Amino acid sequence: MSTVNHTQEPLLRIAKRDGISRPKAYAIRVIAVVLALVVSGIFIFAVTKLNPIQVYEGIYKGAFGTSKRSWVTIRDTMMLLCIGVGLAPAFKMKFWNIGAEGQVLIGGVVTAGFMRAFGGSIPTPVLLVIMAAVSLLGGCLWGVIPAAFKAKWGTNETLFTLMMNYVAIQITSYCVAMWENPIGSNTVGVINQQTKAGWFPEVFGQTYGLNVILVLALTVGMYIYLKYSKQGYEITVVGDSENTARYAGISVKKVTIRTMAISGAICGLAGFIAVAGASHTISTSTAGGRGFTAIIVAWLAQFNTFVMILISLLLVFLQKGAIQIATQFNLNDYASNIITGIILFFILGSEFFINYRVILRGKKEGEAK
Amino acid sequence: METVAAVQLRNITKRFGKVVANDSVSLDINRGEVLSLLGENGSGKTTLMNMLAGIYFPDEGEILVNGKPVTIASPKDAFNYGIGMIHQHFKLVDVFTAAENIVLGLEDEGKLDLKAAAAKITAICEKYGFQVDPNKKIYDMSVSEKQTVEIVKVLYRGADILILDEPTAVLTPQETDRLFGVMRNMKADGKAMVIITHKLHEVMDVSDRVAVLRKGKYVGDVATKDTSPKALTDMMVGHAVTLNINRPDPKDPTPRLEVKDLTVYDAMGVKRLDNVTFTAMGGEILGIAGIAGSGQKELLESVAGLQPLSPGASIRYRPIGHPEDKDGVELVGKTPLQIKQAGVSLAFVPEDRLGMGLVGSLGMTGNMLLRSYRKGHGVFTDRKAPKQLAEEVLTELDVVTPGVNFPVRRLSGGNVQKVLVGREIAQEPSVLMTAYAVRGLDINTSYTIYNLLTEQKLKGVAVVYVGEDLDVLLELCDRILVLCGGQVSGIVDARTTTKEEVGLLMTRFKKEGEPA
């Protein structure tokens, strides 16, 4: 039967590492970032003949060039982080909640509705509390519906949460049409621009101070919830094995619904922050794809909410930088997107090298030829 | 006379992380011969054969087929050298027929000709004495038929070196005999065969030569006719093992679990348990014997509140030291949590350790928490007690782990089992149920487990031991309940019964009990 030619042993073999020390893992990540900068530097030079260092400077300036830019970067980081924190318990439970976009929108719509309706009649601090509460409820409802269907009838949560996004988008379009201001603009415009009723107040003289405080509190709270609370433990068990959960007397249905209520509620609150704390308006692009980007944030951080801060910051930083270099150097959007892509590719790729090692042919088994 | 062996393995070494699965193993496989590869669980038999089949690649050493050095980097390479492996877990497409499965993946030129394939399959079957209907769908087949399809599949591809990985584990004795008959026919045809097994009587029955592995090392090989089960056991474990399991007499056993009329249908509507009635006594070990899949899993899960039961079933629990509590507690209809809240201290070591008993991504501490995390009124879990328990289990059962927070998923099977058993016994149960508690454990650890179970029995716990090794069942248990096709075919006294009697009971109801 041996009619086949002598085959080579594979050139590269991949073996799982038995564990890696923390400094080594971070060294790999640092190398990845440096490599990413070098490769995108080569790309920049080859395609645009620009000095890569200047371009990198441009990226930095775009994100942190002025105090205002820094605050916008921080504001957007907090937004992304908040959604990521909301998604963390769902994904830790292996519930594929890709409906954050819709949950954020619903939170934003009810916030905007209350802001318009009660902007003058209820004092702002009270109104803020009410808006926070209704946005929590709205997001919660958007999270619980697919969870309840899954628990009761075993529906697929990925499709369900995705479709809930479209429902939320349609509701938002309807409200935007209803609240149009000025008529014909097809936007809601800035709500309560004169009175600033229902807007986040300045904290420590910073417009976005309250955003930071709220989101960081959620970040710390979620970390503690997932790591030290009984409910957090149940989420871990259900995410690991539903059979083990049943074995331990954990009601998988109850945990699924409860966790999605929390996840949806926090995403809804993100909508509240987006409307009351940042844009002061509502449109179908209020969530702006962050509901999906936040999935990357949650997974990359392995549901560690503190790591999420760094990842959200990195993503927003790259995005802001890309916009800046696009205008500054007259590059089109694609060029800056490629740079962002290269950097993300290397960072994600480094996780592979942290978990696996690659063995070259001939190494260690020279005689096996 | 000097003939070139079909396959020669030379100094094969394979490592998985720090674990050396095969340590410089050299082995010849000859044509016209059945070679038994013998060794305890975890001795590296399957790993070694997987390297021949192209599933793993050796770290060191070389493989020669017909005297020529070869590189087997994939199952396809293996097939090209005429090597075919029948795995423990069948790799068949359920909705396809036997013939479709057999031709699946073959890259023949031209049109797919299932008729010609069926004819060729029938020819192979006639030649060796298989019974396969090429047009039968896999989902309509019994385990033994599926296995036959797997064997025909490799023969169809022209394999003349066959590796069978524990083929008898899922078969009844009659089916095993039939398989061995076929193997003898193939041997007569000049095929080289390797059978991986740890059942000694099968080794004696079917093989011509026995090669023994122990802890990844090659111990040696002997001609079957020159050896005995005793000598093989010595080779396998390194020193003579008499199964001297300490079995004290039960001290005034009292009824603990009274199971009546337990009937269970699975999700597919197949009857898994059929009117099972028995009583588990506190203070004794009740063994449960049966061919794999006779309803053992369903039985234990029913008691644990994890199986939907057909109406009419009753499981009464009588707590320790409350004989006056005449009715006891009814467990049927209660969830696992309600059972626990009713004061039933139930310890359960399920068969699927990581899939059901443990949380793979957590460390030992996190897994100890599974039984106790509800303790205390606060919102937060108490980690001190579980951590202490984890450390106790670690030292008492010799768990090999880098630390109590190292994910248990990444521990070896034996250590995973120790974590699970350690936690369950620490609950101070009144009923302790174990499914294949020593599967994958080495001899010493197995004895540790036997002693732990006996200790529990002496404390008055009702121990239910589902086992597969009849010798152990006969020496460890007080009574043995034999399941056959979901029915209780007999409850015997372990001290007076014989292996033959239990073996017979295991197959008695086969005709009526077989799922349709």
What is the spatial distance between Cα A96 and Cα A161, in angstroms, rounded to a whole number? 8
Instruction: Report yes or no: A363 at the B interface, CB cutoff 8 Å.
Output: no
Q: Give contacts of A365 with chain B, Cβ < 8 Å.
A: 58-60
Minimal Cα distance from A229: which residue of B? B380
Chain B from 40 to 59: CB within 8 A of any A CB = 57-59
Contact between B481 and B285 (Cβ < 8 Å)? no
Q: Give contacts of B57 with chain A, Cβ < 8 Å.
A: 9-10, 13
Cβ contact, residue pair A6, B160, below 8 Å: no
From B237, B270, B290, the end of a domain falls on B237
Instruction: Report yes or no: A332 at the B interface, CB cutoff 8 Å.
Output: no
What is the spatial distance between Cα B472 and Cα B438, in angstroms, rounded to a whole number? 10
Q: Do residue B169 and residue B318 come from a single domain?
A: no
What is the spatial distance between Cα B13 and Cα A206, in angstroms, rounded to a whole number? 65
Q: Do residue B305 and residue B179 come from a single domain?
A: no
Chain B from 195 to 224: CB within 8 A of any A CB = none
Number of domains in chain B: 2
Overall pTM surpassing 0.80 (yes/no) = no
Instruction: Report yes or no: A254 at the B interface, CB cutoff 8 Å.
Output: no
The CA radius of gyration of chain A, in Å to the nearest whole number, is: 24
Minimal Cα distance from B67: which residue of A? A2
Instruction: With respect to residue B265, please indicate whether it lies within any of the assigned structural domains.
Output: yes
Q: Do residue B334 and residue B225 come from a single domain?
A: no
Instruction: Report yes or no: B486 at the A interface, CB cutoff 8 Å.
Output: no
Contact between A119 and A192 (Cβ < 8 Å)? yes
Candidate from B18, B66, B356 with C-beta closest to A243 = B356
pLDDT of residue A365: 41
From B206, B237, B268, the end of a domain falls on B237
Q: Do residue B335 and residue B190 come from a single domain?
A: no
Cβ-in-10-Å burial (0-12, 13-18, 19+) of B474 comes to: buried
Instruction: Report yes or no: B73 at the A interface, CB cutoff 8 Å.
Output: yes
| 3-class DSSP state of B308 | coil
Neighbours of B224 (CB within 10 A): 18
Instruction: Report yes or no: A304 at the B interface, CB cutoff 8 Å.
Output: no
Instruction: Report yes or no: B4 at the A interface, CB cutoff 8 Å.
Output: no
Q: Do residue B228 and residue B287 come from a single domain?
A: no
Q: Do residue B194 and residue B155 come from a single domain?
A: yes
Cβ contact, residue pair A236, B366, below 8 Å: yes
Q: Give contacts of B352 with chain A, Cβ < 8 Å.
A: 243
What is the spatial distance between Cα B215 and Cα A35, in angstroms, rounded to a whole number? 44
Domain that holds residue B97: 7-237
Q: Do residue B322 and residue B275 come from a single domain?
A: yes
Which of B356, B362, B382, B383 to mutate against chain A (most A CBs within 10 Å)? B356
The residues pairing with B161 across neighbouring beta strands, listed in sequence order, are B83, B192
Neighbours of B155 (CB within 10 A): 23
Cβ contact, residue pair B366, A231, below 8 Å: no
Backbone angles phi, psi at B503, to 5 degrees: -60, -40
Minimal Cα distance from A241: which residue of B? B355
Q: Give contacts of A18 with chain B, Cβ < 8 Å.
A: 17-18
What is the spatial distance between Cα B61 and Cα B72, in angstroms, rounded to a whole number? 12
Q: For B75-131, what is the HEC assignment? A: HHHHHHCCEEEECCCCCCCCCCEHHHHHHCCCCCCCCCCHHHHHHHHHHHHHHHCCC
Q: Indicate the DSSP class of residue B138.
A: G
Q: Do residue B229 and residue B262 come from a single domain?
A: no
CATH number of residue B266's parent domain: 3.40.50.300
Amino acid letter for position A269 = L
Min distance A241 CA to chain B CA atoms (Å): 6
Cβ contact, residue pair B158, A1, below 8 Å: yes
Q: Do residue B97 and residue B193 come from a single domain?
A: yes
Residue with tokens 């934003």: A108
Cβ-in-10-Å burial (0-12, 13-18, 19+) of B141 comes to: buried
List chain A pLDDT tens, one digit each, 369 residues.
334 444 455 667 777 776 677 788 888 888 988 898 899 888 888 887 888 888 888 888 888 988 889 999 999 999 999 999 999 999 999 999 999 999 999 999 999 999 988 988 888 899 999 999 999 999 999 999 999 999 999 899 999 999 999 999 999 999 999 998 888 788 888 888 888 888 888 888 788 889 999 999 999 999 999 999 999 999 999 999 999 999 998 999 999 999 999 999 999 999 999 999 988 999 988 888 899 999 989 988 888 999 999 999 988 998 888 888 888 888 777 777 788 788 888 888 888 888 787 777 655 543 333
Q: Do residue B200 and residue B309 come from a single domain?
A: no
Q: Do residue B233 and residue B299 come from a single domain?
A: no
How many CB contacts within 8 angstroms connect chain A with chain B?
111
pLDDT of residue A319: 85
Instruction: With respect to residue B111, please indicate whether it lies within any of the assigned structural domains.
Output: yes
Instruction: Report yes or no: A237 at the B interface, CB cutoff 8 Å.
Output: yes
Instruction: With respect to residue B40, please indicate whether it lies within any of the assigned structural domains.
Output: yes
Instruction: With respect to residue B380, please indicate whether it lies within any of the assigned structural domains.
Output: no
Q: Indicate the DSSP class of residue B304.
A: T
What is the spatial distance between Cα B516 and Cα B512, in angstroms, rounded to a whole number? 9
List chain B pLDDT tens, one digit each, 516 residues.
346 788 999 999 988 766 688 889 999 999 999 999 887 666 788 889 999 998 888 988 999 998 889 988 888 888 889 999 998 778 888 899 988 888 887 776 777 788 888 888 899 888 888 888 888 888 888 878 888 899 999 888 888 899 998 887 677 777 888 899 999 999 998 899 999 876 777 888 889 999 988 878 898 889 988 888 777 777 776 654 556 778 888 887 888 888 999 999 877 677 788 899 999 998 999 999 887 678 888 999 999 988 888 888 888 888 776 655 667 888 888 888 888 888 888 899 998 888 888 998 898 999 999 888 888 778 888 888 889 999 988 888 888 888 888 888 888 777 888 899 999 988 888 899 999 888 767 777 788 889 889 999 998 899 999 987 777 888 899 999 998 878 898 899 988 887 767 777 776 644 343 443
Min distance A1 CA to chain B CA atoms (Å): 6
Chain B from 397 to 436: CB within 8 A of any A CB = 402
Cβ contact, residue pair B73, A6, below 8 Å: no
Q: Give contacts of A241 with chain B, Cβ < 8 Å.
A: 354-356, 359-360
From B169, B204, B237, the end of a domain falls on B237
Instruction: Report yes or no: A11 at the B interface, CB cutoff 8 Å.
Output: no
Q: For B466-512, what is the HEC assignment? A: ECCCHHHHHHHCCEEEEEECCEEEEEEECCCCCHHHHHHHHHHCHHH
Q: Do residue B211 and residue B87 come from a single domain?
A: yes
Cβ contact, residue pair B369, A233, below 8 Å: yes
Chain B from 352 to 381: CB within 8 A of any A CB = 352, 354-362, 366, 369-371, 373-374, 379-381
